[in-house]
Amino acid sequence: MMFGMTMGLGVMALAAQQLQAQPRNCAPREVVMKKLAEEFGETRRGIGLVQEGSVMEVFASDGSGSWTITVTLPSGVTCLVAAGEAYETLAEALPPAGDDA
């Protein structure tokens, strides 16, 4: 599981770098937030820092199960990184210390 999480973070960092070079799915943050809320019913579920001052956020809807991952650049432009369906909130405990699982 830790490998999957580490791999996911690596993908997010790579995506943030690519977004700076290819802002196709990008718009001012206010526009993206409004669209996610009004059209998809998504609210922010998580947030984290990625490279060079960019912010990664996860949005999801309890009603439809849709989800979206965005990266907001220091300039204030927000880019869509990934989207999908069947979002579920998990609260998994860490394995006991010394467990190789």
What average pLDDT does range 24-35 have in this prediction?
Answer: 94
Is 1 a residue whose pLDDT tops 90?
no
What's the rounded Cα separation, in Å, for the pair 49 and 55?
5
Is 75 a residue whose pLDDT tops 70?
yes
The mean predicted confidence, pLDDT, of the chain is: 83
Is 22 a residue whose pLDDT tops 90?
no
Q: How confident is the model at residue 52 (pLDDT cuts 50, 70, 90)?
A: confident
- Write down the pLDDT at residue 100: 65
- Write down the pLDDT at residue 3: 41
**Could you give the dihedral angle defined by the CA atoms of residues 60, 65, 66 and 68, in that order, rounded to the nearest 10 degrees?**
30
Three-state SS annotation for 31-92: HHHHHHHHHHCCEEEEEEECHHHCEEEEEECCCCCCEEEEEECCCCEEEEEEEECCCCCCCC
- Write down the pLDDT at residue 18: 47
Which of residues 15 and 88 earns the better pLDDT score?
A: 88
